[in-house]
Amino acid sequence: MRSLRFALPGAAALLFALGLLFGADRVAGGRTATDTTHKTGTLALPARTDNAWELQPIRLPDLDGTQRALADWSGKVLMLNFWASWCAPCQYEIPEFVAYQDEYAAQGLQIIGVGLDEARRLKNVARTLGINYPVMVIEEQAGASLMRQWGNDKGIVPYTVIIDRDGHIRYIHRGRMDKYAFEEYVKPLLGS
Amino acid sequence: MPPVFIRRYFGGCGQLLYASPLAGPVKGTGWMNMRNVFLLGAVLLLVCGGAGAASGDAADVSLVDVGPYRVTVSDLKSAISASPFATQFVSMDANDQATLRGDLLRRLVISRLLRLEAEAQSLDRTPDFLKEIENFRRGLLYRGYMDRMRERIALPDEELQEIRASTEGNADAFEALRATRVAQRYRAVRRATLESLIKARHVVVYADRIDQKTAPDTVLMEGDGLRITLRDLSEGLEVPQHPNPEWIREQLFKLGELMLVSDAAAAAGLDVEDRVERYRDERLPAILLERKEAEWVPDDDTLKSYFSSHPEIGHVAERRHIGMLVTPSYAQANAMRKRILNGESLFRLAGLYSVDPYGRAHNGDMGWVREGSGMPEIEQAIAGLQDNQISNIVKTPKGYNIVTIIERKPGEDRPLAGVRDKVRQTILNEKLSAYVHGLEGRYKVSWNLAELPPADKAAGQ
């Protein structure tokens, strides 16, 4: 039988296009284009306010045992980051937060960690990852209750709340906060 | 290498990083035996590390040279990230981190030794391995090319504004719509790129040759520098006996795309050789070990013979459910013991007064403990104890202990069928340990680490 040869890009291009539908991403072994790592949240706090200073004040010991209050840092752009030592996504985002704190402190950024764990373990994480911002310590059960007040009724960590200089909560991020979310929601609040 | 040098390359914050594995392999054990991890920590080195500490040139510093190969800071960090302890590592105490680093470093050294030996046996030049490397390289090139393409896709500001307006401040909706638009653009760019590659390479598909009787050497696709036969499609895959034309088509498109894109990536200068090299680091030791394992345990008779000379492998020790109360002084222990003998509950008293935090929290219920695994003083004291009998007062580093056995599960001697895997693993561990020891004598291993002041001095800094 005579061989039929299809000139390209016509028919073969169509075949390739079909090939795309058959999951060429498996060949690459990579993520699919529709993957999204952003897990964002809207402002839905039980206290029916979007002002952090109208919520029950956070007063907790830091890693050295010194009592701290969130209000100590009022007037700055705050990234309030709830995390735990056993949480892998927290470990991925913390080095990025360290870099943000270094780069944007002069523009008014203040990251505050709230660690839901034993102080000893949290201190080890701070040492190993070189955390350069304050971390407040809370026991896991009490931490879950605190997070509920900040709109996190499922107790997800990491969980990051962005508070503007005037106390208004501008954005809440569930899960690992990537560079895109920082650029989109935090940077515009910082001074130049 | 002086300590200050190491500190400099690890960020200079002066904390314990390694328990050094400078000693040779532990005799009679294998490198997979985690118990031995803790035997390796003889010398502590004063360095500071962590996920973010080493960067740039520091990551390339060689910790150990094994023949021509190096184990670098970066290799060690990768090993930690890939280990089962990756998540716990950052929250471990400095000494535990040092022990783990020391163990992983030792494993990396063994791995390099095995690679050297694999190369000495020409296992890196077999047709199968060369093909495997080529496939791996192509996969990396493909993925790198596609990732680069995806990263370059940016939505114009006007489109982002339009998405923002239409999602009315809902961050979830904004993100979902943005991702969908990026995905649409990516699909279009990908398709256009493929069409352009097909055209540039004059690719032809012989669709009429695809049927159930297609011979393995039949050329199904060709172009400039490209030729794919049915045999090429079946490499490394489960091939149906009478391949379905749909299956052939699907594999053909995948392989065709892989070849075209990976060639384009190589032509564009995408460099994946570092990762190919790391793949060799992992695969060559594994291939050598597969061969050695087949040599060391060739058949069931080997297992039988070993088991008959080591019947203790099948022994399962008695397990005891233990109750315990610990007091800080002998006088208190004596008073508590009298109250227990007069009818009070050891468990109630332990919940109220035990100075052992676990015992106090669990009302003296210490759970199931295997015979021989407890503190020697306790083991001795309960050796002849009947169930529910109260022991004499036993002094241990924890305090003054009063112990009882609530119930027990008797020990047993299992037959080979019940411990086959354990016997096999024991043989392999023994053989591997001796084998690695031999390799260390054959190849030069240079540890670029320095011994430091005693651990207690370092730990205090």
**Helix H segments across B297-415?**
300-309, 330-341, 346-353, 357-361, 376-382
Disruptive mutation site among B198, B251, B253, B461 for chain A (greatest number of A CBs within 10 Å): B253
Q: How many Å lie between the alpha carbon of B144 and the closest alpha carbon of chain A?
A: 9
DSSP state of B385: P
Q: Cα(B330)–Cα(B341) distance, rounded to whole angstroms?
A: 16
Torsion angles phi and psi, residue A8, rounded to 5: -105, 155
Confidence of residue B236 (pLDDT cuts 50, 70, 90): low
Asked if A16 and A82 sit in the same domain, the reply is no
Question: Which of residues B3 and A111 earns the better pLDDT score?
Answer: A111
Structural domain includes residue A1:
no
Disruptive mutation site among B90, B152, B248, B249 for chain A (greatest number of A CBs within 10 Å): B90
Strand A59-61, strand A109-116: pairing: unpaired
pLDDT tens-place string over residues B346-374: 999 999 999 998 999 999 999 999 998 88
For all residues of chain B together, what is the average pLDDT?
84
Structural domain includes residue A138:
yes
Nearest to A34 among B51, B87, B183 (CB): B183
Confidence of residue B61 (pLDDT cuts 50, 70, 90): confident
Asked if A29 and A81 sit in the same domain, the reply is no
Asked if A182 and A87 sit in the same domain, the reply is yes
Using a CB–CB cutoff of 8 Å, tell me whether B139 touches chain A: yes
Average pLDDT over residues A83-102: 96
Q: How many domains is chain A built from?
A: 2
Please check the confidence at residue A192 and state whether its pLDDT lies above 90. Answer: no
CB contact under 8 A, B50 and A130: yes
Asked if A95 and A128 sit in the same domain, the reply is yes
Average pLDDT over residues B54-67: 76
Q: Which residues on chain B are in Cβ contact (under 8 Å) with A16? A: 194-195, 198, 253, 256-257
CB contact under 8 A, A16 and B194: yes
* Per-residue pLDDT at B239: 62
Nearest CA in chain B to A172: B171
Please check the confidence at residue B378 and state whether its pLDDT lies above 70. Answer: yes
The CATH number of residue A73's host domain is: 3.40.30.10
Whole-prediction pTM: 0.70
Q: Cα(A5)–Cα(B228) distance, rounded to whole angstroms?
A: 15
* Per-residue pLDDT at B238: 64
* Per-residue pLDDT at B4: 27
Using a CB–CB cutoff of 8 Å, tell me whether B8 touches chain A: no
Please check the confidence at residue B294 and state whether its pLDDT lies above 90. Answer: yes
Q: How many Å lie between the alpha carbon of A175 and the closest alpha carbon of chain B?
A: 12
Hey, which residues does B403 pair with through a beta bridge?
B324
Q: How many Å lie between the alpha carbon of B394 and the closest alpha carbon of chain A?
A: 32
Bin A65: left if φ > 0, else alpha if -120 < ψ < 50, else beta: left
Using a CB–CB cutoff of 8 Å, tell me whether A106 touches chain B: no
Structural domain includes residue A2:
no
Please check the confidence at residue B11 and state whether its pLDDT lies above 70. Answer: no
Confidence of residue A43 (pLDDT cuts 50, 70, 90): low
Question: Which of residues A16 and B383 earns the better pLDDT score?
Answer: B383
Can you give the residue range of the structural domain that contains A14?
7-35
Asked if A109 and A136 sit in the same domain, the reply is yes
Using a CB–CB cutoff of 8 Å, tell me whether A40 touches chain B: yes
2.30.30.830, 1.10.10.10, 3.10.50.40, 3.40.50.300: which CATH number matches B318-410? Answer: 3.10.50.40
Please check the confidence at residue B173 and state whether its pLDDT lies above 50. Answer: yes
Structural domain includes residue A134:
yes
* Per-residue pLDDT at B116: 98
Please state the ipTM of this predicted complex: 0.73
Nearest CA in chain A to B188: A17
Average pLDDT over residues A118-134: 96
Nearest to B91 among A42, A95, A124 (CB): A124
